[in-house]
Chain A
Amino acid sequence: MRIDLKAVEDAAKELYIRALKILPPDIKRGFEGLAARETSPTGRSVLATMVRNIAVAESADNLLCQDTGLPIYNVLIGRGVEVDGHDLKQAIRAGCERATREHPLRSSVVHPITRVNEQTSCGARVPVINIDFSDVPRQLSIEMIPKGSGSENNTWLRMAIPAEGVDAIRTFVVDCVLDAGGKTCPPTIVGVGIGGTGDLCVHLAKVAATRPLGSACEDAEGARLERELTAAVNLLGVGPQGLGGDATSFAVHVELAATHITMNPVAVNMQCHSARRARATWTPDGLAWGF
């Protein structure tokens, strides 16, 4: 299957805009679940405003949140897909830039030292483009995540040691949720990376934070830990927007990797309640939009 790079550029533009405007159905269902269980009057009121905002964004064809985020594109290339990797990255970058200029969107991206904003949502190594491969025949998918800064600023890594055991991971996650308080726009998805190298651990936390609600860690121990942690962080009472209530997090998600005999790393990356993502998938049947 040969990929038309102009179609990729157009899709990269459209994906950014779609992600900013249409919340995935699993997140909407997540709101329903939290609202049904919320006992705090303030918490119920905050959740109701969030749900109302989703409807206003869709009816007005507007952005859910002002934060256009740091643009992330996750590319998954299946078997028998013919595409030039370098040109694919250039096409995605061009689409990201066009979304910013043509919609228009706020460019939230600056040089980290000069703070100069090119007004393109692009800069050195941004958009972030992650490329991976799958065994699915003749399929290319691109997932777009506009990662908001309120949640991204709540990212932590702890290089714990083996003698501290899994309790170090459990304690760290609870303390991160406490430290984040209302800053990270709860209810959140708490992404937890466990194991790997330091950099892989942080990356896994991001993968976990941006995974659809209702999905589970493929590792049985990881899945058990995410169920336990989801229940525990929702005992804290941080609540929606940090104003108190039951709904602190939709879920805690765990992703893990093997690690060194001397290491026990844990990372936390959070996703805010505006847990935005969009996906374009090419197959021999054409292009399909999803989440």
Chain B
Amino acid sequence: MAHHEFHMPVTEAQVRALRVNDTVTLHDTLYGIRDATQIHMFDRGRRTRFDLRGHAVIHTAPNVRWVGETVAAPVGYEPVCVGTTTSDRMERFTRPLMEQYGVRIIIGKGGLRQGSLDAFADLGGVYLAIIGGTAALETTWIDRIEDVDLHDLNPESLWKFSIRGFGPLLVAMDSHGGSLYSEVNAQARGRRAAALAALGVKA
């Protein structure tokens, strides 16, 4: 259960060194991505001008305030509240994000499925769990909004955040087939019979 400090972007070797239950804190750059962003990128033929190779994406659609372009807000937006959404809806985009854009790290809540776990093993990637619903805290780890692409999809644009000490985040799915979600889910389903028995439900 090691802790890692990552200055983004990272190499495949850095990501493959991570194991479930390790923790990671990210620095420098993080990209925000969401349902509509990926629907447009992978189903509707749009491309992003951002170079995502070796980078981390977080499943988010932030609350932002338009303040006009300043040093602190290079594209005119300042972050109000940046949190995380449920990753499961975006399961089918993990592999194309990694294959077509070279993304190495996905950050979200609630976990991804076997298809993503396979992609992490095949291509060298990880899923980092952030605590859903703790956006006020996460926002304190973000310095500014550096850039935005696919702007028309606001709030589901592709956001480039400048970050400082983003974490610690828990490695919940790794490139070696490990998934905390699969483990917990299997254990919970194993306890189903006991829970129903406690309720007096006849088998």
Instruction: Decide whether A and B assemble into one complex.
Output: yes
A66 touches B129 (CB 8 A): no
A221 → B minimal CB distance (Å): 14
Q: Is the CB of B134 within 8 A of A236?
A: no
Query: For chain B, which range describes its interface: under 10, 10 to 19, 20 to 34, or 35 or more residues?
Result: 35 or more
Is the CB of B133 closer than 8 A to any CB of chain A?
yes
The reply to whether the CB of A242 lies closer than 8 angstroms to some CB of chain B is yes
When the two chains form their complex, are residues A181 and B201 in contact, meaning their CB atoms are under 8 A apart?
Answer: no
Tell me if A242 and B181 are in contact (CB < 8 A): yes
B65 at the A interface (CB under 8 A):
yes
Assuming the A-B contacts A53-B134, A239-B184, are A65 and B83 also in contact, with contact meaning beta carbons closer than 8 angstroms in the complex? Answer: yes
Q: Which of B135, B181, B199, B201 contacts A64 (CB 8 A)?
A: B135
- Contact residues in B for A12 (Cβ distance below 8 Å): none
On chain A, which size bracket covers the interface? 35 or more
Contacts of B55 in A (CB 8 A): none
Q: Say whether, besides A149-B85, A170-B196, A237 and B191 are in contact (CB < 8 Å).
A: yes
The B-contacting residues of A in range 218-257, CB under 8 angstroms, are: 228-229, 231-233, 235-239, 241-244
CB-CB contacts below 8 Å: A176-191 with B: 178, 181-185
How far, in whole Å, are A67 and B132 apart by their CA atoms in the complex?
10
Q: Which residues of A contact B187 (CB under 8 A)?
A: 237, 244
Residues of B with C-beta under 8 A to A200:
none
Asked if B121 is at the interface (CB within 8 A of a chain A CB), the reply is no
Can you list 12 A-B pairs, Cβ within 8 angstroms, ordered by A?
A: A53-B134, A62-B80, A104-B66, A117-B155, A148-B133, A153-B89, A170-B199, A182-B184, A237-B188, A243-B172, A243-B184, A272-B133
Chain B residues within 8 Å of A, Cβ to Cβ: 36, 60-66, 80-86, 88-89, 109-111, 129, 131-137, 139-140, 154-155, 170, 172, 180-181, 183-185, 187-189, 191-192, 194-196, 198-202
